[in-house]
Structures are given as structure tokens and as C-alpha cells.
Structure 1
Amino acid sequence: MFELTLLLSYTGACHRRDPAGPNELRFQSSGQGYVVDGEATTNALGLDFGTTNTVVAIADGSGNSRLTEFAGADASGAVFRTALCFWEEEKAWQGIAYEAGPWAIAEFLQSPLDSRFVQSFKSVAASPLFERAQIFGKNFRFEELGQRFMQRLVAHADGQLDTLPRRVVVGRPVEYAGSRPDPALARRRYDLMFENFGVELHYVYEPLGAAYSYASRLTEPATILVADFGGGTTDFSIVRVAEPGSGRRCLPLAFSGIGIAGDRFDQRIVDRLVLPLLGKGSNYRSFGKLLQIPGAYFVDFADWSRLALMRNRRTLNELNKLQRDSTDPEAIGRMIALIEHEQGFPLYNAVGQLKRALSSEEQAEFRFTGGGVEIVAKVHRAEFENWISDDLRRIEGTMDAVLDRAGTLADRIDRVFLTGGSSLIPSIRAIFERRFGAERIATGGELTSIAHGLALIGEQPDLAEWSA
């Protein structure tokens, strides 16, 4: 069992950003699209728009691609966090300014109580239950969040994306995250998100991008299995790779996917370490009856794409009423405090630090402080593995499905390529070592391989064979 210490002291501070504000963040809705250079020597851009991170690569026309690097005090190289931060500003378009990526994180940390920080919003791309997010009284549809995100990503590329190649290849999961996802709805939303680019737009399965990237390393024919562990989904592809110089180097054989990945593992940690302290499982009184606190609040709190959106008048009024009638009002008060003090990002960081530590250590400490709540817990790797054991079984079942669809067996797979941040979790790697042997497993470029492969696929003469 993990050891837990809880300290409470409802305090907080607010640091305001420069009141002048970054006026250049105003969104231009002129409909004029980005410049397209039909004569450029580079003719394809690969965009890995991920749940957690986004990466851009541009093919150079000779079978190679380069990553778009983001420079500046708040930059993080080629990896651009898929996040947005909004704040009210009189001079901004419609009175709401915004930032994206690592710059969004910097803005949020400067003044968390005056901001709305949104991350993992890709998770709702295929959800018919999601219609809009209300931020400072304005409704934002998924595509509007995506348009603002892409506009800031391009702006921070320091001119590298001012002239776009003829083709843009966007990665998409094999199976979208969420309950009863609608792929057609996600496609419509993606089309609207990218419509201002004014380019030839194609969609390719993300694990196929990773497979193409890995195939460029191979010097002999092989049948490869790619497992892509993203933030929202885990996707598999099996590809037959021909020898270098062949007319068609890669032949996709089968795909499978499931809406379980890094964010789901985060939810398991929050469920075990945080939610019991926020009233999960407790009761409230209603008309003389004792009822359990509705679980929807805790589901939303553990979901990074929804947590920031709980800071709205309706939700907070409902929670305040529940607190008055609750048998554990202090616990509900902690939830309210964390929501009001915009503690989603600090909590996300604490959970991520624990996951990374448990990937290299048998025991690690979970430590979170924010919104007047402090949580300290020692967690053993075996505990975490137990928390995600059902998820791992379902992921392995999805891997079995792709083998069945390809009409092949594990011993016919020559190479296994693992990519994505969660591929570093020991219990995930153990699945593949047990099924395929450690000698057949390859890794590398966990966060960038998909974008590289998508850009290279974009150079192929007939993209219809690759498009999803």
C-alpha cells in the first residue's frame, strides 16, 4: 500500500502579466489562408498533431525530412506542447487573447487565476458529446480551438512555416479516443481546423507514419510491427518493407487501435491518489435520502481535456451545493479549491513526473502542492502496474487483432518498433519482449518519428494508397 500524507492550507497568490499584453496574438479570421509555394523544392509537410505534443517535419525532396524547431525563451525544440492558454485582454480580438505550446504554459504560470489552460483537447475530436467549450463567456468549437493552436504554432516557427509545401499530411489515430467516437465527425472537424492553410490535405494513420520513418533505417526486406503509444490512443500497424531502391518500399498490411494510452494511465493515478481526497465515494443528503456524489464530476476532473473547463459558474454552483449537503464537505471543498485555482497543469506535471520516475525506479514519490492542497504519496512500480493492468490487457488484445488482420503470427514479425512516450513504461515493453523477444525490438525518436514518416509519405506520387 502507498503511504499518504495530506496537508491543507487554503492559500494562493496571483501574479499578473504585463497589462500591455501580447497584442500580436489577435486571431485573423480573414479567410486568406497561408501562402502555398507550388514551385518549392520541398513538396510535403508531415504534421503529427498529438494529444500531448505536436511535431512538424518537412521533406526536402530527396528522401529526407527535417524537423521544425521552435526557438525562444519558452521553446522546447521540435516538440510543441498541444495546449492553449486564454486570458481576457481589452485590445485582443473579441477581448480574449491566447497562446499555444510552451508559450501557453509560460502565460498560465505567470497568472494562473486569470487564465484558462486547455490541454489534450484532441481527445474530444471524435466525441459527439462535445459541442463547445465556454471560455470567458465565449463558446469555442473544437475546430476553433485547433485553428488558434495552429495559428500560434506557425507564428512561433520563426518563418520556417511562412511558405508551406504543396502537400500537408496530417496524422490521425486508427481509433479515436472517447466513448463511441465518430470518425466522420473528427474528419469534418479536422478539415475545418486546417481549412485556412489552403493546401492539398491528406490524412494518414499515425502508426503508418512511424513505420515509414523506421523503414528508412532498414537495409534489407522485413515485416515490421509498429506500436504507437500516444496520449489518447494506442495504434498498431504491420508493414512489409521491401529492399532499398524498390519501386514501393512499404506495403501496409493491417491496422488496429484503441482509445487507451498515456492519458488513461494518468487517470488511473489521479483516481487512486487524488480523487479519494476530493470526495469520490462519499455521499450527500437529498430530501432525507443519502446518495452517492455523482461520478461524472470525478470523471471530468481526471480527464485533462475537461478539467480546465470545469471552472465555470454552473459547475462550481453545483459543487458548492453538493458541499453544503455532503457528508464530507471538506473533501468537496478541496475539489472546488483545485478547480478555482486552475491546478490542472501542476497536477498533470506531478502525475507525469511520477510515471517517468517509475519507468526507471521501483519506487517513487508523488508530490503535489496547489490550491491549498498538498499530497505526498510513495508509490511502488508494482502498484502502478496493477492500476493499469486491465488497460494493458486491452492493449495487448488490440495487438492480437492487428496480427489476425494481417494473417500473420508473432514469429513472422522481423522487427518491432515502439514509439510514443508511454512505450518507455517497463510493463508495456515487457509485453513485446515476452511475445517477440528483446532482440527484435527497436526504439528511438519516440516523439518525432511519426512526423518524419508523414513528411516522407507526402513525397509519394500516389497518396491515395496511403490515405486513411
Structure 2
Amino acid sequence: MDSDTGALGLDFGTTNTVAALADGAGSSRLIEFAGDEATGAVFRTALCFWEEERGWNGIAHEAGPWAISEFLQSPLDSRFVQSFKTVAASPLFERAQIFGKPFRFEDLGRLFLQKLVAHSGGALDGRPRRVIVGRPVEYAGARPDPALARRRYDAMLDGFGVELHYVYEPLGAAFSYASRLTDPATILVADFGGGTTDFSVVRVAEPGAERRCVPLASAGIGIAGDRFDQRIVDHLVLPMLGKGGDYRSFGKLLPIPGGYFVEFADWSRLALMRNRRTLDELRKLQRDAVDPEPIGRMIALIEHEQGFPLYDAVGRLKRALSSAEAAEFRFCGGEVEIAAEVRRSDFEGWIGEDLRRIEAAMDTALDRAGVAAGDIDRVFMTGGSSLIPAIRAIFERRFGSERIATGGELTSIAHGLALIGEQPDLAGWTA
């Protein structure tokens, strides 16, 4: 790729990453990844590490679907890291210890991008003129620090492009959707990612207008697909691992500390629980527990690196409940077996409070834009969780099904970011 032409849209997501290149003629093409493990234009936001002398600091790595393949070949000799974007804005996260070596967020991100470029079949060789990076409106995590996230992103992307710009992710989706419209409209974009749910209100002019899209307001919340996964784990898995149990300490019965369950239910932290300190603490807790077997199951799942297959089973259940009223959750691994039928109504009850907070964030975006629900001509829903019936029902109730559009759930943001990168003036788009 010529370093002085082209704009690259980079949707660095919690679950998946997608890149698109603008063609300079009002369109863009998605980067298709090449190789036996490739999954088209969608590159899983995941890393796998294993010890090897020729690797960086004695540790080799892979990313994307190749990371999943490496992990499945040798789960006990590798470390699998996923959803690390969720700690980008966390002051509590300083570094992850992997095979005794410290990795900062920007280290993980830089290694991830190196492999993304390597698997792009030459499409990302060189440096694009502009890189437009999607960022959430509100970062995930407790008390997120946007300035810290920006510094970490800057370090991660250093040297990746000639110019670096950040744009709210739903604005990328809005620009992509606007390219499909033939009439002026006020649109609401709802982007349901892995770590955050974001909204943008955009006014779209007629085709050929000097300025086709004008952003009016955005809002977001750190609740999305990963949180829904945590709810499933909390109700189906953690009770079998000791949650709600007691242990003995100096003659007293005390509840088992909840911190272990919080970590286990979080993809970005579960992967890092396989360390000597945590396992030693859990073994001590197992000795003192009133019922030691559940804690033993947790230790077995961590030691046998069962995080990925466990959350894969959770994802299958969630997808099944999007098209069926009931589905079976089934997991077997690390000496633990779980089978349970789950009704869609159960799942919707588990995420009920999350849905209310998501709807409140949508209202914030409308209020900031100074528009009412009746002023919205079109609603564009994107992201994997937009397929969940309970989420769809919110928008049908508020806007009516005839105003709702979907499509390109995993690729629309990257497409729109690349097109924004071709605009002569980015001031109205950058965050």
C-alpha cells in the first residue's frame, strides 16, 4: 500500500477487529485476511502466547483466528488473551504477567496489530496517509479514564499511519449507513459491541450536498455483549464453582470472597488467573471451605485453560436464544460438566437491568441532540448484540419496526471510518 495515499478505517473491537481501505471514489473495501485459519474480513481480537527462544523476550505469539488455533493445539502450554480492549481506560490495569514477563496494554495492542498486518496478504504493508480509529463514546470498566486510554492507543498505534485520528464508533456506522440513503434524514445509530453500547444522532443531507453528514450528539455506556456473557456465567457456572458458599476462618463462617468470581466472569481477567499466587490462594480457600468441591472445580478450569471453550459455549447459547425460545447450555472440560436448558425469558430477566441502562444511554443521546423519538427518521442497529430479541424490542417499541434498519453488523463501522478518512475536514468527526 502506497504510504502517501488512501485512508484506513480501523474498527479495533473488544471481540473482533475489522479494517477497510477507502478507494478515493466514495467507497471502501474491507481487508480480507489470508490463510487456512482466515475468517474473511473479521479478525478476532485475541492473542495467544507460548514460550519460544526466537520470540520477543523469549515468548512467541499469534493473533486473530490463528491465536485460537494455536491455543487449541496446546492449551496447557500457552496463554490465551481476549477482550483486552476492556482495560484500555482502566487505571487499575498496569500490566499482565505472561510467562513471567510484563505486558502493558500498548504492548498487547502493538503485537496484535503486527500480526493483523502480517495476515493481511500485503494489503496493509506500508503506512496509509490517514488512519481513522474507532473509539467508544464511553469506555468499559469502573471509573474509566479516557485520557489514559488515548495515551495507550497512541502508543499502540505509533508508526501505524502518517496521520492518526479518532472517531466515535457509532459515527463510523452512521457514515456507512448514510451512503445507502437517497433522501435527507435524521438517523440514530445504535452500536452494540463487546464491551460498550454507543449511540450517535446524525443529520444526513441529500446526496451531492457539500456536507452530507452532520453529527448532532453521542452517548454510550460500558455495557454490551461481554456483560451479557457474564450474566450467563453468573447464573449457570459460578454456583458450581463456590459462589454463595462459606469458608472457615479463626472459628468463624465467612462468605467466600466475591473477587474470585468477578475475575472468573470477566474474559479479560479470567485469562490471567492462571498464575501461582492466585492458584495458591484458591487452594488455601479450598482447604478451608465448608464444601471444597466447587472451589476445586474452579481451580481445575483455570489450570486446564478452559476459559475459551467455556465462553465459546456461552456465546453459542446466547446466539441460539436469539432465534429460539429455549436452548441448551452444554459445557464439558477441565473435569467440569454443565448442562442446563435456558429459556429466552430467563436470559432476558438476567440482563433486564442492563437493558434499562442501555435505553437510558439512548435517551441521553437524543436529549443531547435536542430531538425526540418522533424526530428520528431512521434507526440503524449494528454490532452482534443488536440481534438479541430483547434489544430489538426496545427499538420497535420506541420507533416502530418500519424505521429500523440493520446489516453489516460486524463490518459497517470500519467501512464508515474509511469513508470519513476521505473527508477534507475531519474536525466535525474526530473525538
User: Normalising TM by the smaller chain, what interval?
Assistant: over 0.9
Aligned to 2:314: 351
Please say if 1:454 is aligned against 2:417: yes
Q: Please report how far the alpha carbon of residue 348 of structure 1 lies from its aligned counterpart in structure 2 after TM superposition.
A: 1.1
Q: Equivalent of 2:366, from 403, 406, 416? A: 403
Q: How does 1:322-341 map to 2 (within 5 A)?
A: 322-341=285-304
- Alpha-carbon distance between aligned partners in 1 of 2:326 and 2:18, rounded to the nearest angstrom: 32
SS of residue matched to 1:202: strand
- Residue identity matched to 1:364: A
Q: Please report how far the alpha carbon of residue 73 of structure 1 lies from its aligned counterpart in structure 2 after TM superposition.
A: 1.1
Aligned to 1:315: 278
Q: Please report how far the alpha carbon of residue 71 of structure 1 lies from its aligned counterpart in structure 2 after TM superposition.
A: 1.7
- Alpha-carbon distance between aligned partners in 1 of 2:57 and 2:146, rounded to the nearest angstrom: 32
Would the alpha carbon gap of residues 254 and 295 (structure 1) be closer, same or farther in structure 2, given more than 3 Å must change?
Answer: same
Aligned to 2:328: 365
Q: Equivalent of 1:112, from 75, 92, 100? A: 75
Q: Equivalent of 2:235, from 272, 281, 284? A: 272
Aligned to 2:261: 298
Q: Please report how far the alpha carbon of residue 199 of structure 1 lies from its aligned counterpart in structure 2 after TM superposition.
A: 1.8
SS of residue matched to 1:384: helix
Q: Please report how far the alpha carbon of residue 155 of structure 1 lies from its aligned counterpart in structure 2 after TM superposition.
A: 0.2
Please say if 1:289 is aligned against 2:289: no
Q: Please report how far the alpha carbon of residue 165 of structure 1 lies from its aligned counterpart in structure 2 after TM superposition.
A: 2.0
Spell out, residue by residue over 1:359-417, the C-alpha distance to the aligned partner (whole angstroms, 9 max, x if none). 00000000011101110010000000000000000000111111111111101100000
RMSD of the alignment, in Å? 0.8
SS of residue matched to 2:57: helix
SS of residue matched to 1:447: coil
Q: Please report how far the alpha carbon of residue 36 of structure 1 lies from its aligned counterpart in structure 2 after TM superposition.
A: 6.1
- Alpha-carbon distance between aligned partners in 2 of 1:82 and 1:223, rounded to the nearest angstrom: 33
- Alpha-carbon distance between aligned partners in 1 of 2:293 and 2:109, rounded to the nearest angstrom: 38
Which consecutive residues of structure 2, in runs of 5 or more, have no partner in the other structure? Answer: none
Aligned to 2:29: 66
Aligned to 1:435: 398
Q: Please report how far the alpha carbon of residue 196 of structure 1 lies from its aligned counterpart in structure 2 after TM superposition.
A: 2.8
Please say if 1:254 is aligned against 2:220: no
Please say if 1:391 is aligned against 2:354: yes
Please say if 1:193 is aligned against 2:156: yes
> Is the contact made by 2:53 and 2:59 (CA closer than 8 Å) also made in structure 1?
yes
Q: Please report how far the alpha carbon of residue 221 of structure 1 lies from its aligned counterpart in structure 2 after TM superposition.
A: 0.1
Spell out, residue by residue over 1:176-235, the C-alpha distance to the aligned partner (whole angstroms, 9 max, x if none). 000000000000000000003242000000000000000000001000000000000000
- Alpha-carbon distance between aligned partners in 1 of 2:269 and 2:2, rounded to the nearest angstrom: 35
Spell out, residue by residue over 1:430-460, the C-alpha distance to the aligned partner (whole angstroms, 9 max, x if none). 0000000000000000000000000000001
Aligned to 2:179: 216
Aligned to 2:96: 133
> Is the contact made by 1:36 and 1:199 (CA closer than 8 Å) also made in structure 2?
no
Spell out, residue by residue over 1:25-60, the C-alpha distance to the aligned partner (whole angstroms, 9 max, x if none). xxxxxxxxxx8611x3xx200000000000000000
Percentage of identical aligned residues = 81
- Residue identity matched to 1:262: G
Aligned to 2:141: 178
Q: How does 1:18-57 map to 2 (within 5 A)?
A: 37-38=3-4, 40=5, 43-57=6-20
Which consecutive residues of structure 1, in runs of 5 or more, have no partner in the other structure? Answer: 1-34
- Alpha-carbon distance between aligned partners in 1 of 2:230 and 2:221, rounded to the nearest angstrom: 16
Please say if 1:237 is aligned against 2:200: yes
Please say if 1:424 is aligned against 2:390: no
- Residue identity matched to 1:430: A
Q: Equivalent of 1:207, from 164, 170, 175? A: 170
> Is the contact made by 2:128 and 2:161 (CA closer than 8 Å) also made in structure 1?
no
- Alpha-carbon distance between aligned partners in 2 of 1:160 and 1:122, rounded to the nearest angstrom: 24
- Alpha-carbon distance between aligned partners in 1 of 2:2 and 2:197, rounded to the nearest angstrom: 33
- Alpha-carbon distance between aligned partners in 1 of 2:208 and 2:57, rounded to the nearest angstrom: 54
Provide the aligned length of Structure 1 versus Structure 2.
431
- Residue identity matched to 1:82: T
Please say if 1:93 is aligned against 2:60: no
> Is the contact made by 2:306 and 2:334 (CA closer than 8 Å) also made in structure 1?
yes
- Alpha-carbon distance between aligned partners in 2 of 1:93 and 1:387, rounded to the nearest angstrom: 43
- Residue identity matched to 1:102: P
Aligned to 2:105: 142
- Alpha-carbon distance between aligned partners in 1 of 2:381 and 2:121, rounded to the nearest angstrom: 32
> Is the contact made by 2:130 and 2:161 (CA closer than 8 Å) also made in structure 1?
no
Q: Equivalent of 2:84, from 121, 126, 134? A: 121
- Residue identity matched to 1:124: V
- Alpha-carbon distance between aligned partners in 2 of 1:300 and 1:426, rounded to the nearest angstrom: 28
> Is the contact made by 1:36 and 1:198 (CA closer than 8 Å) also made in structure 2?
no
Q: Please report how far the alpha carbon of residue 93 of structure 1 lies from its aligned counterpart in structure 2 after TM superposition.
A: 2.5
Q: Please report how far the alpha carbon of residue 163 of structure 1 lies from its aligned counterpart in structure 2 after TM superposition.
A: 2.6
Would the alpha carbon gap of residues 139 and 62 (structure 1) be closer, same or farther in structure 2, given more than 3 Å must change?
Answer: same
- Residue identity matched to 2:103: F
Spell out, residue by residue over 1:108-138, the C-alpha distance to the aligned partner (whole angstroms, 9 max, x if none). 0000000100000000000000000000000
Q: Please report how far the alpha carbon of residue 328 of structure 1 lies from its aligned counterpart in structure 2 after TM superposition.
A: 1.4
* TM-score normalised over the length of structure 1: 0.91
- Residue identity matched to 2:201: I
> Is the contact made by 2:214 and 2:428 (CA closer than 8 Å) also made in structure 1?
no
- Alpha-carbon distance between aligned partners in 2 of 1:336 and 1:417, rounded to the nearest angstrom: 43
> Is the contact made by 2:243 and 2:258 (CA closer than 8 Å) also made in structure 1?
yes
Q: Please report how far the alpha carbon of residue 90 of structure 1 lies from its aligned counterpart in structure 2 after TM superposition.
A: 2.1
Spell out, residue by residue over 1:128-160, the C-alpha distance to the aligned partner (whole angstroms, 9 max, x if none). 000000000000000000000000000000101
- Alpha-carbon distance between aligned partners in 2 of 1:240 and 1:465, rounded to the nearest angstrom: 13
> Is the contact made by 2:215 and 2:428 (CA closer than 8 Å) also made in structure 1?
no
